Chain A
Amino acid sequence: MDKFKIVVGYLYGDLMNIYGDTGNIIALKKRAEWRGIEVVVKNISIGDRIPTRQVGTQIDLYFFGGGQDQQQALVAKDLQKKAKVIRAEIERGVPLLSVCGGYQLLGDFYKPHKGPKLPGIGLFPAYTLASYDRMIGNIVVNSMFGDLVGFENHSGKTHLKKGTVSLGMVKKGFGNNGKDKTEGCMYKNAIGCYMHGSLLPKNPKLADWLLKKALEIKYGKKIELVPLNDSLERQAHNVAFKRFS
């Protein structure tokens, strides 16, 4: 496996990096490097073209974090120009993880308290409405990756359209909207969620799933990742789990 290489596309990493999101990038990078897989992180910001097979190095895995209101509005506008490429890449099976603001912008739209809807790019069949509730605190979600633990902090309420697959069901916390017990969204290998805190270091199974999918799509074959010693990660996960569930 020593020749493998992954290019991570950090969408608007300079603008959307609140709430310890950078920890997710660190986790992906380290968990790949510990297995001898080289990782390059490319920041893709406003005005940048997403590299595709036709124009340079392909992106093998996308990450999209949360941001402040002002930055988010700028990003929403620019994202429309990248919409076509991102949707095509996800259809191709490229994995993506988006958290909070990034998740909201990848849905159909975001409706603020005042003013017009902020259009998303319709990747996730979901939409978000501003609310006056601050959904904040530790969260535990039952998912296909086992129990995921994180910390949520959002006021937007996301509603999944009929037939949409959620990332999992809330055991403790609010999740998408605080009502229907769903948390996050999955479409192909793209994931959206409200869990930061940081998500991947404490949920190594999810981190490895993203890496595995990235390699499988890139190299076009089945990949089994070398197992790592995750006892510390598991203990951090368990402490969080016990403290909040």
Chain B
Amino acid sequence: MKSLLAILLGKTIAVVTRGLKFGGGSAAPGLYALKLDPQIVKKLASKIPINVVITGTNGKTTTARIIAHFAKNAGLKVIRNHTGSNLERGIASALIHNSSFINHKSCDLGIWELDEAAFNIVAPKINPDLVVFLNVFRDQLDRYGEVDSVVKGWVETLKRLPKKTIVLVNGDDANTLRLSKSFKGRIQKFGVKDYKIVGEGIEKKREKENLDFEAKNVKLKGLSGSRFQLTINNELLTINLPIPGIYHIYDALAAIACAKFIFTDPLTHRPTDLQILSDSLKSFQPAFGRVEKLDFGYIFLIKNPAGATQVFQTIAPQIKKEDRLLLALNDNLADGTDVSWIWDAGFEKLLTPSLRDHKVAKQSIYVSGTRAYDLTVRLKYAGFDPKNITIEPKLDQALKQARKGLKGTLYILPTYTAMLEVQSILTKSGIKKNYWEENG
């Protein structure tokens, strides 16, 4: 009875918030339903045949989206938490949205992204068949704490998961690699040959790590994506990934490994053919704001030192002299109220020869957000000439100025809430749909 009421309440709130256009109803329904029935996630998740949980600092949404994409192409019905709502309330909202009052609608697969701290509370309730640990970097220290305590929490939680769970870890990240010793069940490692993750960036590695899913012969193709080879059970395949940057190869590897374990061919009941996954990837589109192509440029979310540095490494070689940058730093709760992370991010990597050239770089950099001045100071100390920087804390104004007379590409690099603002500005001007309608 309690869960029925909780579902009813959640559904009502979802209808009301959507009706009043407060947002996509991605957190509030779950929040209130959980108050009525704290076990709602456990009860509803147990009705789904297969559950996958994804955690880590960066790449959760992209990985979840690739798995969902594979699943849909394989004809499976998927349920997942959307739009970065990766706390328990976000999971509860998704489950409630999908639930009828008598029976859970027939779902084949649940894909759940959980943030570093929520993982420890929610993963045991979901009782997952497969868990992905993508990476761990310094993120919002005010919320998650230090890297060591994040890893310690995961080690404890892994002990509580059933032995039948398959655990995928990033074998190039020393922190997630540490987890492989603390789980009794099956552990599989994924990674990229010759690369390892060091501090906030990705570097060449010397020593060899035995990886179960290893990307080889990586070729980066600018902003259009990358190509790599993968061998599984003597089957060699070339994969074309339509999203740029080495960091996305890790997300794709995790998704491929996941699909390999949990999908079966409906006719033969054998694991899904790698070729099918590879073909399926061609039509993949990245999550909103992560790497988003617009008519006049790109949006790349930046939210912590590691993620931002990897974005800089990816776009810097592509910046041409007629291109412009718009960076936006907010310090709202969802961004992290502590903006000191910008000093750990490698903004120096963004300073390309054309941006260094004072004549060329004139009027090419726009800085916005609640902490626009902090970010401008960071750029100044990274070697940018303040004379080339236009500061406009109001994002709609900044976007207008940055687009005025734009001849090349505009690279928009916002923090989380600034990205939502950019989405909303673009939606209002008719360039984009609402983000909660976009998730599929």
Contacts and interface: CB of A to CB of B under 8 A. Distances in A.
B386 A23 contact: no
Interface stretch (B99-107, B186-194, B341-349): B341-349
Nearest to B331: A243
A240 B342 CA distance: 15
Contact of A198 (B148, B149, B340): B340
Contacts of A153: 141-142, 338
Contacts of A236: 371, 373-374, 376-377
B342 A18 contact: no
Contact of A232 (B146, B338, B376): B376
Contacts of A18: 138, 141, 146
B338 A240 contact: no
B378 interface: yes
Nearest to B341: A20
Contacts, number: 74
B376 A197 contact: no
A68 B148 contact: yes
B341 A70 contact: no
A195 to B, nearest CB: 10
Q: Is the interface of B mostly helix, strand, loop or mixed?
A: helix
Contacts of A21: 343
A194 B371 CA distance: 21
A21 to B, nearest CB: 8
Interface string B363-407: 000000011111011101100001000000000000000000000
A197 B373 contact: no
Contacts of B370: 243
Interface of A: 18-23, 26-27, 30, 68-70, 136-138, 151, 153, 196-198, 201-202, 232-233, 235-236, 238-240, 243
Given A70-B148, A151-B338, A236-B374, A22 B381 contact: no
Contacts of B138: 18
Given A18-B141, A19-B141, A232-B380, A198 B373 contact: no
Interface of B: 138, 141-142, 146-149, 331, 337-344, 370-374, 376-378, 380-381, 386
A201 B341 contact: no
A19 B338 CA distance: 9
Contacts of B386: 232
A69 B142 CA distance: 15
Contacts of B381: 23, 26-27, 30, 201
B377 A232 contact: yes
Given A21-B343, A232-B376, 10 more contacts: A18-B138, A19-B141, A68-B149, A201-B377, A201-B378, A201-B381, A202-B374, A202-B377, A238-B373, A243-B370
A136 B142 contact: yes
B344 A68 contact: no
Listed residue (B148, B339, B341) with the most chain A CB atoms within 10 angstroms of its CB: B339
B148 A196 contact: no
A30 B378 CA distance: 11
A69 B145 CA distance: 11
A79 to B, nearest CB: 20
Contacts of B344: 20, 22-23
Contacts of B371: 236, 239
A239 B343 CA distance: 18
B311 to A, nearest CB: 18
Contacts of B343: 20-23, 26, 198, 201
Nearest to A239: B373
29 contacts: A18-B146, A19-B340, A20-B341, A20-B342, A20-B343, A22-B343, A23-B342, A23-B344, A27-B381, A68-B147, A68-B149, A69-B146, A151-B339, A153-B141, A153-B142, A153-B338, A197-B338, A197-B340, A201-B377, A201-B378, A201-B381, A202-B374, A202-B377, A232-B373, A232-B376, A232-B377, A236-B371, A236-B377, A240-B374
